[in-house]
Homo-oligomer: A and B are copies of this chain.
Amino acid sequence: MSTPSTDGIFLKNCWYVAAWDYELLDGARLARTVLEKPVVLYRGESGQVVALEDRCCHRGAPLSMGRIEGDCIRCMYHGMKYEPSGKCIQIPGQDVVPDKLGVKSYPVVLKDHAVWIWMGDAARADPALIIDYPPLRQSDQWRGLPAYLHYDANWLLIVDNLADFAHLAFVHTKTLGGSEEYAYTTKPVAIERLADGFRVERWHMNSDPPPFHRKVIPNKNDKVDRRNIGRMYIPGIFFLETTFAPAGQGAEKGGPLPAGTRQYRNCQFMTPETRRTTHFFWNYLHDTDLDDPNVSLSLCNSMREGFHEDKAFIEAQQKLFDADPDTKLLAIASDAALAHFRRTLGQRIAAEQAKGALAAVA
Contacts and interface: CB of A to CB of B under 8 A. Distances in A.
A78 B183 contact: yes
Contacts of A322: 1
Nearest to A324: B3
A93 B170 contact: no
A156 to B, nearest CB: 11
A83 B314 CA distance: 24
A54 B59 CA distance: 36
Which of the four size classes fits the interface of chain A?
A: 35 or more
A354 interface: no
Contacts of A312: 65
A57 B331 CA distance: 9
B320 A60 contact: yes
A358 B100 CA distance: 42
A74 B332 CA distance: 16
A58 B320 contact: no
Given A60-B317, A94-B333, A332-B101, A78 B167 contact: yes
Given A166-B92, A312-B65, A322-B1, A79 B183 contact: yes
Given A77-B167, A325-B2, A334-B78, A92 B184 contact: yes
A164 interface: yes
Given A3-B323, A93-B334, A313 B79 contact: no
Given A317-B60, A320-B60, A332 B55 contact: no
A326 interface: yes
Interface string A170-181: 110000000010
B62 A316 contact: yes
Contacts of A316: 61-62, 65
A330 B38 contact: no
A3 B326 contact: yes
A157 B239 CA distance: 47
A257 interface: no
B65 A330 contact: no
A193 interface: no
Given A78-B334, A100-B330, A171-B77, A1 B164 contact: no
A100 B329 CA distance: 11
A76 interface: yes
Interface in A304-362: 312-313, 316-317, 320-335
A36 interface: yes
A321 B2 CA distance: 10
Contacts of A166: 78-79, 92-93
Contacts of A3: 323-326
A208 interface: no
Interface string A12-46: 00000000000000000000010010100000000
A315 to B, nearest CB: 10
13 contacts: A33-B323, A38-B324, A57-B329, A58-B332, A58-B335, A60-B329, A61-B313, A74-B170, A78-B183, A78-B334, A79-B166, A80-B332, A93-B183
Interface of A: 1-3, 33, 36, 38, 54-55, 57-62, 65, 74-80, 91-94, 100-101, 160, 164, 166-167, 169-171, 180, 183-184, 186-187, 312-313, 316-317, 320-335
